[in-house]
Chains A and B, each alone.
Chain A
Amino acid sequence: MTKPNPVLIVEDDAEMAKEMAEILKGANCATDLCHTFEAGVEAASSGRYPVVILDRMLPDGDGADAVARLRAKGSNAMVLVVSALGRASNRIEGLEKGADDYLAKPFDPDELRARVRALLRRADSIAAENDFMVFGSLQIRLKARNVHVGQTHVPLSPREFDLLVFFARNHGELVTRMQLLENVWNLHFDPQTNVVDVHVSRLRGKLDRACARPVLHTARGEGYIFDPMRPIASESE
């Protein structure tokens, strides 16, 4: 087990905060807690936390407004806003105020874990973004926007390519449907039909066929995990 990642939770509801801390323990995170806006901004700007979780309706301020304060103080921590203000317009408002991600309450524990992990990964890799991503025999070239398995080109539609890139950046992690809608389609509402599933299953069909093994896995209920290396035993032939 690697060293746990420090995550700061700014939440005035003690029970909620405890629950979040419990959930994040499962994602190898060591959480610290602040109950007020001011204390939260103070702690977050220390630079110790790569990821900060902010509630919006704090007794002394709106967590979404903290982002600008943090950036002004030179902090480049990833900010996840977690709030009961869950309408699309609330989300967009939060993201426009500079939050890196936005999660509405009530949320699924897996979803919180997935989003915090994605942010931790982004915090790690923000400088090391490569043009070339390799997962075993699967190669993705970002600038050229093409995908190869070994020497074989895999034809993908532009949207399928964007989907794959988002999965690849979060490889090995749970990616939820809402995350895909927000990041790949830039849509902040939940369509009645599970349109995302259809797109993912097409991409999955193409990748699985090309790699001759499962690449995209369905995670219980909530979303997908991109993990081309998972069936290692069958690859080593």
Chain B
Amino acid sequence: MRQSASLRLTLMIAAAILVVSVIGLSVQYVLVKRDLEARQLALVNADLAGFEALYDQRRVIAVRQAIEYRLPAGEDGALLLALEDRGGTTLAGNARPWPDGLEKPTEGKSIAATRFTYEDRTYLGVARSLPGGFPLLVARATGGVEKMLARLRVIIAAVVGGASILALALGHVFSRWVMRRIERMNQLADRVASGDLSARLTGARTTDEFGLLESHFHTMLDRIEALNRATHHLSDNIAHELRSPLTRIESGLTRLEDQGSNVDELRARIRNTVRIFDSLLEIASAEAASGSGTGLRPLDLAQIACEVYELYEPVAEDKGISFACDAPLGAAILGDRNLVAQLISNLVDNALKFTPTGENVRLEVIQDKDRHTLKIADTGPGLPSEASRDIFERFARFRGDKQVAGHGLGLALVKAIAVRHGARLRIVPGQKGFCIECFWPNVEDTG
């Protein structure tokens, strides 16, 4: 299949070159042929006019002499002349008898240029009856023109033949070049498919479209490789993070056999382990779905924010935190209600968890023409500045400390959900405490 693509390309290029050259040469051939024939006709007419003029001045004798003079032996019949008298007797010329192919003119008449055969040769001739009833014939053999045209045809055929060979060779070279460039990419793809994600094309890259394609290929492979590495990293983390609680559960069960310990605590640990699984799966599925709009419905971001506020308000009150919500309804977004609620809930949960008693947490939805901003700010201890870069990574844990419960997946899930919805996250710097903004595309106009 690949070979035939190359062959097809070669033949197409050759055919294109050939068609152009054949058309050009044909046009030239036709023009040359027409020109030669016109010249021959002019020559014959000029001869006839010359004899006629001579007759007008010097009568039949002079014409006979002129004819004999014009017919030397060397001309070899290329010129055919005849002068007859009223009775049909030939007075001069080499056309005896008068050729059958050309009508003999009656007195005062002319015969226009006619092509005829005489003694196996083709002639172009004219005839006129001179005053007094003397038919005069002037004809020239067309053999010279034919020979010239035949030679021209041979030349054209040679040129076309040469051009086809050249075109085939050129097409072959060109298609080989294109195919080699594609073949490079194919080999790379094969190597990647067989498992070598780090395979790359070596050598200089051209600046043309092929070079661009190679660059795109490389960018794509880099991205895949990075994602793959991240996945490996993640599975290590999962193994680690899940192993420890499971070990604790196991030891707890051992104790249970001994003396009957706290079953609820073990149950809570198992539930927490399952929750880690769920969060990881939820992150993975949100990441996998990002970019596609499927499953997203029109929602009011502010309404969900208010619901989450209402859910957490008693928690804040119990902890002695002043928790405020400012979210005027009508912030239209496209989203998955449960995921959006989980995003807001995780951010609020974090803020309440890390903010000490007596401080403030504020939840806001600010509507704008092309985007809505969800803002959660607290006046807690904030975040060490070097941490803000990795904060959205899975299993990242920074502010506060390990005393605060959590599995380090909350913000990773927040980020995955944001990406899923095409929303952008920003940690607002230079604030007392921690402040995070999430920008959602406004979809009010699209309905």
Q: A residues near B, CB below 8 A?
A: 86-89, 92, 104, 106, 108, 159, 185, 187-193, 195, 198-199, 202, 220-221
Give Cα A220–Cα B312 distance, bound, in whole angstroms.
24
Given A106-B270, A193-B349, are A185 and B285 neighbors across the interface (CB < 8 Å)? no
Q: B residues near A, CB below 8 A?
A: 263-264, 267-268, 270, 274-275, 278, 281-282, 285, 307, 310-312, 314-315, 318, 336, 338-339, 341-342, 345-346, 349, 352-353, 405-406, 410
Q: Is the CB of B338 within 8 A of A193?
A: no
Q: Is the CB of B275 within 8 A of A190?
A: yes
Which one, B268, B307, B314, B349, contacts A202 given CB within 8 A? B314
Q: Is the CB of B346 within 8 A of A192?
A: yes
Give Cα A187–Cα B304 distance, bound, in whole angstroms.
11
CB distance from B241 to the nearest CB of A (A): 15
Given A187-B341, A189-B338, A220-B264, are A87 and B314 neighbors across the interface (CB < 8 Å)? no
CB distance from B163 to the nearest CB of A (A): 67
Given A187-B341, A220-B264, are A195 and B275 neighbors across the interface (CB < 8 Å)? no
Residues of B within 8 A of A89 (CB): 282, 285, 336, 338-339
Give Cα A195–Cα B278 distance, bound, in whole angstroms.
19
Residues of A within 8 A of B268 (CB): 221
Secondary structure dominating the interface of B: helix
Give Cα A101–Cα B262 distance, bound, in whole angstroms.
30
Residues of B within 8 A of A198 (CB): 314-315, 318
Residues of A within 8 A of B336 (CB): 89
Q: Is the CB of B312 within 8 A of A195?
A: yes
Q: Is the CB of A188 within 8 A of B264?
A: no
Give Cα A86–Cα B346 distance, bound, in whole angstroms.
19
Q: Is the CB of B349 within 8 A of A189?
A: no
Q: Is the CB of B264 within 8 A of A195?
A: no
Q: Is the CB of A199 within 8 A of B346?
A: no
CB distance from A191 to the nearest CB of B (A): 5
Give Cα A211–Cα B18 distance, bound, in whole angstroms.
104
CB distance from B273 to the nearest CB of A (A): 10
Give A192's nearest chain B residue, CB to CB.
B349
Residues of A within 8 A of B406 (CB): 192
Which one, A86, A88, A188, A199, contacts B274 given CB within 8 A? A86
Give 7 A-B contacts (CB < 8 Å), ordered by A residue.
A88-B342, A187-B311, A189-B341, A189-B345, A191-B345, A195-B311, A198-B318
Closest 6 CB pairs of A and B: A221-B264, A198-B314, A189-B342, A192-B349, A188-B338, A198-B315
Residues of A within 8 A of B346 (CB): 192
Give B270's nearest chain A residue, CB to CB.
A106
Residues of B within 8 A of A188 (CB): 338
- Of A106, A159, A192, A198, which is in contact with the most chain B CB atoms at under 10 Å from its CB? A192
Give A202's nearest chain B residue, CB to CB.
B314
Residues of B within 8 A of A108 (CB): 267
Residues of B within 8 A of A92 (CB): 338
Give Cα A195–Cα B307 distance, bound, in whole angstroms.
13
Given A191-B349, A193-B353, are A86 and B278 neighbors across the interface (CB < 8 Å)? yes
Residues of B within 8 A of A220 (CB): 264
Residues of B within 8 A of A221 (CB): 263-264, 267-268
Give Cα A221–Cα B353 distance, bound, in whole angstroms.
22
- Of A89, A92, A185, which is in contact with the most chain B CB atoms at under 10 Å from its CB? A89
Give Cα A108–Cα B271 distance, bound, in whole angstroms.
10
CB distance from A186 to the nearest CB of B (A): 8
Give Cα A87–Cα B310 distance, bound, in whole angstroms.
24
Q: Is the CB of B274 within 8 A of A106?
A: yes
Q: Is the CB of B311 within 8 A of A87?
A: no
Give Cα A25–Cα B312 distance, bound, in whole angstroms.
38
Give Cα A193–Cα B353 distance, bound, in whole angstroms.
8
